[in-house]
Amino acid sequence: MATSAPHPSVNAQVGVYECAITLKFRILEESHVMVDRDQLLEQLIDAYSYGSDEFVEQIEAQIEVCEVSEIAASPLMRRQLIRLRNLPSA
């Protein structure tokens, strides 16, 4: 589930953010999927991202985002942040 952030636009400011997402929904699914903990989160996010239909019913969604100090990020994330800031603004 490794995805990269889109490259910033010419005037974009890049920072480090902490995001907390609370999703509560009901889903019709086979019971064996709910037991396989390794793939459960991916299955639930996929189902939720398709939106409400006859198999998924959204109950609650909350999102909290706050910018944090770059020092709070891992060394790998700080290096990536430096790379993004040093991209040529073509």
Q: What is the pLDDT of residues 28-75, one digit of tens each?
A: 888 877 787 777 888 788 877 887 788 888 889 899 999 999 999 999
H helix runs in the chain, sequence order: 31-35, 37-49, 75-85
Angle (CA) 6 9 11, round 5°: 140
Residue 1: pLDDT band with limits 50, 70, 90: very low
Mean pLDDT, the chain, as a whole number? 82
- Write down the pTM of the prediction: 0.60
